[in-house]
Structure 1
Amino acid sequence: MTAAAPVRPVPAVRSTSLWVALAIVLVAINLRPAVVAVAPLLAEIRVVEGLSGVTAGLLTALPVFCFGLFAPVAPVLARRIGIERALFIALVLLVAGFATRLLPSLVALFAGTVLVGAAIAMGNVLLPSLIKRDFSHRTGLMTGIYTMAISAGGGLAAGLTVPVAQAAGLDWRLALGAWGIVALGALLCWLPQLRGAGHRIGAGASQVAALRRDPIAWQVTAFMGLQSMSYYGLAAWLPAVFVARGFDAAAAGWLLSIASFTGIAGAMAAPTIATRFRQQSAVVAGVTALSALGLLMVLVIPGAEIVGTVVLGVGQGGCLGVALTLMALRAPDAAHAAQLSGMAQSVGYMVAAAGPFAVGALHDLSGGWTVPLVVVLVMFAPQAVVGALAGRARFVGEREAAPAPAP
């Protein structure tokens, strides 16, 4: 009688990967509400706190500036304590930032904004490197899912903040603070990732210095900065544009929400398409052109706000997805991906911080919204150029063309 073959246990790799993917999505959902939720409430904040257009622009630009200022901290933490523990610290800071903004003080509002900006900066940098490390065989798919979650979080914040506040009778501080509950949920769900954590990434200072001399790294950085500058400049002020055209605050917030939700389609599709080709230049040109077309429709066609925001959202979601994908595709490993992500987001978001501030200042100077929107529209041209350069099939540190890794 033949002995039965021993039953082998089913490996837990798939279930573990699914849990990590879910945890990444939960963190990614929190990378926009702390910033985007301010825009629909900005008119109320200006009245209650007596802010000028320039000061309000500074408030909306501050978290983006913090994205750049604190992005270099993330790879350092990841090298010392591991990616999982560094992300846990980021979530703690995010919850603390929401709590600080509840205090009845203008200083607390700005201090809490710095905390949420620092937290999101770390998440922005660490999640792409985590995807590169744990999902190298599915980079395009996971980057698409991750970017989709970012867009969904922004869309929910833009569309729900004012209606929920009005229905519950919340003032603007409590309306912003309510999103801290979502951040706290992500923090609790991240706790299982700390078991056995401590995997460190190994890029050192010499590799960082080498990236700063690498033209490909600067091309990726420039594309990241320019697409972020247009996104945050428009996210901060589009509701005000729509209010000036006769929409109420809730409707204006929903229009911004439409752009974020339709961005999910671009965020999901663009990385998946981009990773199917050796070069991503054509995809970069396509998503940038969609962004420009959507803004042009909003600018010159009265009554086309809904259609224009749909097209704009798809284009901007695609731009973000491609920018994050390039950080993975232009890096040969997770260590380089973390460093390239840190550099691109540090310098890139410093550039992007000019967007909300410049749009607000140009509005104050011109007395209308045409001039600032035209300036944003013009900036799509250099964005397309540097994106096409960053889309060439090369790794950082290389001078000759090399095939990008398969997704």
Structure 2
Amino acid sequence: MGISQVTNKLEQPKLDSKPKIGLLIIGIILIGANLRAPLTSVGPLIASIRDSLEMSNILAGTITTVPLLTFALLSPLAPKLAQHFSMEFALFISLFSLTIGMAIRSFGGVETLFIGTILIGASIAIGNVLLPSFIKHNFAQNIGLVTGIYAVSMNLFGALGSGISIPLSSISGLGWSGALGCWGILSLLTIFLWLPQLRNKHKAVKFGQMEKKVTSINLWRSKLAWNVTLFMGFQSSIFYTVITWLPEILEQKGVNTHEAGWMLSLMQLSMLPVMFIVSILAGRLKTQKLLVGVSVVLLIIGLFGVLYGGTLLISLWIIMIGTGVGFAFSLAMMFFSLRTQNTNEAAELSGMAQSLGYLLAAAGPILFGWLHDITHDWTTPLLMLVLTSVIIFITGINAGKKEYVIPK
């Protein structure tokens, strides 16, 4: 679907013309593209980074967990940043600091690697939290459509980041630092195309001005907010655990290393179409319980397939897991908007859910690996993911009710 086709479907009284709507959608697509690729591009290069900088395996492994911990710590601060400035300017700050972080990360030293990674994590945390709220504010009648567009962009570029890192690093003179630094070009382009939003005076307002009736929000006492948070956290935990361990699991089942790597790409690519479709469906349905159920059924069948099935149907099991994760991720993003009544609430819920959610996501791969170490097989760890899927079902059914975190 082209930009012109999308803009024809959007009712947007806040903008004066279709070109402005198109530019805004392009900006959202590009911001989404910057929220995963700077992180997913690191994984395939871990061995090169470790050998080049003479790092231990433990230290090298923390490169991928540091951003998740940064998300957890800084996500609650993103709404405060938007309250002090505006959503447009806060997103601009995140893009600017993201570019700086990628430049620092590419200097080629251990210290700069981690400083840059922390700055990148902080920048992405702001975008993660504010973009769903920004979409709710600007596309209230088309939340599902625009959320689907941004989710597809985010995960498509995330998959590309995993796929092209090694080919980029093989180009003469680039190496791992140059391959990671190339993503700064994308963030610079996004900054340039986002600048017109800062001149949009009638939109660039603080949360306090947009939501005059809202004084303070305490979501920590809301059962619904906790259900959304746990749903977000446990679905993220499954995603990051599978991303971390799937190739090794498949190799021990007899799949060759090259094919195991492609299975990981297949899983991520299978997420893309359902993310777009589920976001639209979730926005149109009165409740999202059925979509939650479909997500969990796909996850459980896929996990049992990997655990007990042979390698003949391995592609089917991987597609089912990817589709289930895509369902769950889309629902998590939509819950930030569907379970809130205004942009302030949406940003606060997004901050809470992503803060605790990424703590769970960071713990998932560690717990999975620990269970493998003490049992010396993959049965118990994979059954842990099945149990996690059951928790996703319980929290998702509660989060899918037509209610608001702050009752009317």
**Smaller-chain TM-score bracket:** 0.7 to 0.9
Distance 1:50 1:374 in 2: 36
Distance 1:50 1:359 in 2: 27
Give the deviation of 1:113 after TM superposition. 1.7
- Report the counterpart of residue 143 of structure 1 in structure 2: 147
Question: Which of 310, 328, 331 is residue 322 of structure 1 equivalent to?
Answer: 331
Question: Contact conserved, 1:159 with 1:253, CA < 8 A, in 2?
Answer: no
Using the aligned pairs only, state the percent identity.
37
Aligned length: 389
- Report the counterpart of residue 9 of structure 2 in structure 1: none
Question: Contact conserved, 1:148 with 1:268, CA < 8 A, in 2?
Answer: yes
Distance 2:404 2:68 in 1: 27
Question: Which of 255, 266, 277 is residue 263 of structure 2 equivalent to?
Answer: 255
Distance 2:169 2:252 in 1: 22
Does 2:287 correspond to 1:279?
Answer: yes
Does 2:63 correspond to 1:59?
Answer: yes
Does 2:209 correspond to 1:200?
Answer: no
For residues 126-147 of structure 1, give each alpha carbon's deviation from its aligned partner in whole angstroms, at most 9, with x where no partner exists. Answer: 1001110000000111111111
Letter in 2 for 1:215: K
Give the deviation of 1:339 after TM superposition. 1.2
Question: Which of 299, 306, 319 is residue 291 of structure 1 equivalent to?
Answer: 299
Question: Which of 107, 111, 114 is residue 111 of structure 2 equivalent to?
Answer: 107
Distance 2:348 2:81 in 1: 12
Q: 1:62 to 1:210 in 2, by over 3 A?
A: same
Question: Which of 69, 88, 106 is residue 84 of structure 1 equivalent to?
Answer: 88
For residues 155-209 of structure 1, give each alpha carbon's deviation from its aligned partner in whole angstroms, at most 9, with x where no partner exists. Answer: 1112222233335574333322222222222222212221135311126998654
Listed as ranges, the matches of 1:151-170 within 5 Å are: 151-166=155-170, 168=172, 170=174
Question: Which of 162, 169, 174 is residue 178 of structure 2 equivalent to?
Answer: 174
Give the deviation of 1:57 after TM superposition. 4.2
Question: Contact conserved, 2:40 with 2:158, CA < 8 A, in 1?
Answer: yes
Helix, strand or coil at the partner of 2:200 = coil
Helix, strand or coil at the partner of 1:353 = helix
Distance 1:186 1:369 in 2: 42
- Report the counterpart of residue 381 of structure 1 in structure 2: 390
For residues 58-104 of structure 1, give each alpha carbon's deviation from its aligned partner in whole angstroms, at most 9, with x where no partner exists. Answer: 33222111111111121111111100110011111211221122123
Does 2:33 correspond to 1:29?
Answer: yes
Distance 1:157 1:360 in 2: 24
Distance 2:296 2:42 in 1: 26
Question: Contact conserved, 1:68 with 1:350, CA < 8 A, in 2?
Answer: yes
Helix, strand or coil at the partner of 1:275 = helix
Letter in 1 for 2:317: G
Give the deviation of 1:384 after TM superposition. 1.1
Helix, strand or coil at the partner of 2:207 = coil
Q: Could you list the runs of 5+ residues in structure 1 that have no partner in the other structure?
A: 1-10, 403-407
Give the deviation of 1:292 after TM superposition. 2.9
- Report the counterpart of residue 5 of structure 2 in structure 1: none
Q: 1:37 to 1:339 in 2, by over 3 A?
A: same
- Report the counterpart of residue 129 of structure 2 in structure 1: 125
Q: 1:331 to 1:295 in 2, by over 3 A?
A: same
Question: Contact conserved, 1:60 with 1:357, CA < 8 A, in 2?
Answer: no
Q: 1:367 to 1:170 in 2, by over 3 A?
A: farther
TM-score (norm 2): 0.87
Distance 1:53 1:369 in 2: 22
For residues 224-282 of structure 1, give each alpha carbon's deviation from its aligned partner in whole angstroms, at most 9, with x where no partner exists. Answer: 11111111222233344445566676654433222222111121111111222211111
- Report the counterpart of residue 4 of structure 1 in structure 2: none
Question: Which of 16, 39, 46 is residue 12 of structure 1 equivalent to?
Answer: 16
More displaced stretch, 16-25 vs 204-213? 204-213
Distance 2:167 2:213 in 1: 48
Question: Contact conserved, 2:278 with 2:330, CA < 8 A, in 1?
Answer: yes
Helix, strand or coil at the partner of 1:131 = helix
Q: 1:383 to 1:311 in 2, by over 3 A?
A: same
Letter in 1 for 2:339: R
Question: Which of 321, 345, 348 is residue 339 of structure 1 equivalent to?
Answer: 348
Does 2:72 correspond to 1:68?
Answer: yes
Does 2:269 correspond to 1:264?
Answer: no
Question: Contact conserved, 2:168 with 2:175, CA < 8 A, in 1?
Answer: no
More displaced stretch, 321-330 vs 284-293? 284-293
Does 2:318 correspond to 1:309?
Answer: yes
Q: Could you list the runs of 5+ residues in structure 2 that have no partner in the other structure?
A: 1-14
Distance 2:336 2:381 in 1: 30
Q: 1:28 to 1:351 in 2, by over 3 A?
A: same
Q: 1:170 to 1:223 in 2, by over 3 A?
A: same
More displaced stretch, 111-120 vs 301-310? 301-310
- Report the counterpart of residue 230 of structure 2 in structure 1: 222
Question: Contact conserved, 1:129 with 1:334, CA < 8 A, in 2?
Answer: yes
